[in-house]
Chains A and B, each alone.
Chain A
Amino acid sequence: MTKTLEGAEGLRSVPALLHRNATQFADAPAYREKEFGIWQSWTWSQALEEIEALALGMIDLGVAEGDFVAVIGRNRPRLYWAMMSAQMCGAIPVPLYNDAAAEEMAYTLGHCGAKYVVAGDQEQVDKVMEIQDQLPQFEEMIYLDPRGLRKYDHEKLRSYEQVQHNGRAKRETLMAEMKARIAKLDYDSTAVMLYTSGTTGNPKGVVLSNRNVIETSRTSSEFDGLRQTDDILAYLPMAWVGDFIFSVGQALWTGYCTNCPESPDTMMTDLREIGPTYYFAPPRVFENQLTNVMIRMEDASRLKKRMFDHFMAHARKVGPDLLDGKPVGLMDRLKYKLGDLLVYGPLKNTLGFTRVRVGYTAGEAIGPEIFDFYRSLGINLKQLYGQTEATVYITAQPDGQVRSDTVGVVCPGVELKINDTGEVYYRSPGVFVEYYKNPESTADTKDAEGWVATGDAGFIEPDTGHLRIIDRAKDVGKMADGSLFAPKYVENKLKFYPNILEAVVFGNGRDECTAFINIDLTAVSNWAERNNIAYASYQELAGHPQVLATIQSHVEAVNRSVAEDEMLSGCQVHRFVVLHKELDADDGELTRTRKVRRKKIEEKFHDIITALYDGSDQISTVTEVTYEDGRKGAIKATLEIRHAMVQPVATRMAAE
């Protein structure tokens, strides 16, 4: 690929794109944030002024080229600006997960040797203060929300406003320096460093260049026809590559408006008020919303409930076809129109999806019922498959080819191949530069020709070209009899039941599969209330015999469905326990992006796993839990081991 084909001339860095937007879309809204009950907004030219002021202030503070500037906080325009200001200084922004505990932060801050930190509020400032002794490189911290910080020792603390004020005051003297630094940025300079959530071991710092970010933003924006007038809601962690691409990369490339909610609790209200046209959410968010809708419909009047059920049934029948542009009869179309007037329209409005033109979900498999529910309402919800190392995009579903069981076709500019073990490899302009200070891992992941191993096992459907992902390649194992073991495949099927929040399936190298199950408190407690079942705690509800019986029926239904797939029929769950606590990232059982950490769980609950295989009927256990403030406690419980019915797998045995 020659350089002339890439990007547009003069638009080879994030600051360059920002300058273009500030000229071309000067008066168009660039950022909105709800604060003090009102949506405050900034146009592109105002944003540029703010960002420049901060960048000049940073230079004044001593931020040098190549320095790492960590950004920690919830999604706020000023923190996005801080990332761009850092880029203008020639420094490298490193957004970190704001819900990470201080020790986790100590690792990442220490690893990149961040000299400067931009913190959202007192909570983040406290965390960095707590660990600053372990950070020899750390120099200064800039904080955004001054609340509670007035009496702090300001030796190493600066307020965001103060830094901007200094920047504005010294604009004349420092402007030349900043311009020179911006001019040095090209397609190969680092745009951002993002830490992967670290399903195994320590997080790795993924270095992404301007080429990665801008090329990916360009091709993906064209793929989905994103427009300058689009609106997005930025509410997912800033440290996540997706948020960086949606709220910085694509936002700058197309010039659309990034909206930030008032607080995490008001996200749903803010979503409704903004009505984004381009929306991303992990399956979990869609699941929660659907659960809430269903719960509220249970409480609705009879007439409304009947109307909802009737028209939803119709929507399921014809909605997805209408969205895909397939032929639908006139009567069905008219009925759908009526349904839109009475049910779908108001429902979409309540959910905040009225204006959604392009919606994506990714990260985990989404339940077909959930996926179809949103699509049948006429929301263009699609799936994509990507990872930090690819600057998000590997495959995505084009309009009109959307299915719940695939992750789409290869994105423009991406090449895909599957090796003999079934692992998926890709090569694209978005392929990351390297893992920071970790050449071994870089070499393990990316070969000399630029092919990157995804770590996922999957296959390409021959007739459609769609990619299907089965599981993490390293999690795919063999059962004792040599048949395939794909835990995630079974877990996803289990998790599609609203009552089940999380499931972990064991069975690698063993002759039978077993599972841990977490109930979904929202769904199950609502059921309990409806059926007059009293309970005092999560633990008690999770151990209730009727709950266990319901979960058992789900497990058995999954077993029937798993048995249909000849290759994976050995993965049926023979025994399971419903856990007494929710698996939690604070206890190290999940990653911050809520993916299951199998090793940790196997170690921590080894007594329960043993009991699942030694024929016991119950197991008494003590589990350590960590509260949000870092204190530790313990939960004692006696768990019942349930046996689930399995389908015979005689055919496969005979074939061997």
Chain B
Amino acid sequence: MLDQADGYTTADGRKIGPVVMEMKNITLRFGGVEAIKDISFDIREGEIRAIIGPNGAGKSSMLNVISGFYVPQEGQVFYQGQPRPPMKPFQVARQGIARTFQNIALFEGMTVLDNVMTGRLTHMQTGLFWQSMWKGKAEEEETANREVAEKIIDFLEIQAIRKTPVARLPYGLKKRVELARALAAEPSLLLLDEPMAGMNVEEKEDMSRFILDVNDEFGTTIALIEHDMGVVMDLSDRVVVMDYGKKIGDGTPDEVRNNQDVIDAYLGVAHD
């Protein structure tokens, strides 16, 4: 396993830093259902960390625990070394965590640009008064934020649909717009909930490219949930495997691939 506390350099020359987020013995229950059972793992700065598992394994619940949306009954989440108290979503966003959703959650009637601009909300300081005046500070602020939004639009190559209402876009592009909105917040930790679900091969290749580029260019730490094993194995530095709410594997893609429990969970085992 990788145990260098201060980080290490990957084979392709990316720098992986120390642990930024740590899950310690997390247990999450919904009434009598135990969605997550005593799971511990960590996320290092600058890495692409995948959470995989069959349907109903508890992956999305885990992501919601990371994002602070669910508060686990047992265990503790440490973010940047501090135990994290229960928080409101905007507080999470201010901590530098952004996410995308499995079922796209964009403002359908708004243009791509407006949607991306909503991602800048946490970076806007001026109050209602100045914003409605639309002069001075508010105007400057909007210009500065628009610049960031435009850089991201350029980065994700969605210039051609900048002024198109989201509702008119095909699914694959909507996913990309959602990623753009999350990136607009300039997060230090980016959570992607099944970024490639429902895509064709070409769209998957594009999205994989963008995820790698984001990690590479902005140094963003990425935690993602994904079904497509091939994609996960190619993209991620380390993988957590879940099954029935339990962690059954954790390590590099190669380690996970050869883990007998993981193979059993995916391929099934013979019951004598």
Contacts and interface: CB of A to CB of B under 8 A. Distances in A.
Contacts of B155: 147
A36 B217 CA distance: 17
A263 B13 CA distance: 31
A123 B214 CA distance: 17
Given A262-B159, A263-B157, A36 B151 contact: yes
A151 B13 contact: yes
Nearest to A148: B213
Contacts of B216: 148, 150-151
Nearest to A263: B159
Contacts, number: 34
Nearest to B209: A148
Contact of B217 (A147, A262, A265, A269): A147
B108 interface: no
A263 B213 CA distance: 19
A263 B150 contact: no
A153 to B, nearest CB: 11
A151 B11 CA distance: 13
A59 B161 CA distance: 41
Interface in A13-40: 35-38
Contact of B159 (A150, A151, A266): A266
Contact of A37 (B13, B157, B159): B159
Interface in A490-516: none
B160 interface: yes
Given A147-B155, A263-B157, A37 B162 contact: yes
Contacts of A263: 157, 159-160
A151 B14 CA distance: 9
Nearest to A34: B159
B154 interface: yes
Tell which of B146, B160, B213, B216 has the most Cβ of chain A within 10 Å: B160
Chain A interface category by residue count: 10 to 19
B151 A269 contact: no
Contacts of A37: 113, 146, 150, 153, 159, 162
A330 B81 CA distance: 84
B154 A36 contact: yes
Given A147-B155, A147-B217, A148-B213, A269 B150 contact: no
Nearest to A629: B205
A138 B150 CA distance: 36
Interface in A234-268: 262-263, 265-266
Contacts of B150: 36-38
B206 interface: no
A265 B151 contact: no
Contacts of A262: 159
A249 to B, nearest CB: 29
Nearest to A35: B154
Tell which of A37, A38, A150, A269 has the most Cβ of chain B within 10 Å: A37
Contacts of B163: 269
Contacts of A147: 155, 213, 217
Interface string B136-172: 0000000000110011011101011011000000000
A-B residue pairs, 6 tightest by C-beta: A265-B160, A36-B150, A37-B150, A266-B160, A262-B159, A266-B159
26 contacts: A36-B147, A36-B150, A36-B151, A36-B154, A37-B113, A37-B146, A37-B150, A37-B153, A37-B159, A37-B162, A38-B150, A147-B155, A147-B213, A147-B217, A148-B216, A148-B217, A150-B216, A150-B217, A151-B12, A151-B13, A262-B159, A263-B157, A263-B160, A265-B159, A266-B159, A266-B160
Given A36-B147, A262-B159, A263-B157, 5 more contacts: A36-B151, A37-B162, A38-B150, A150-B217, A266-B159
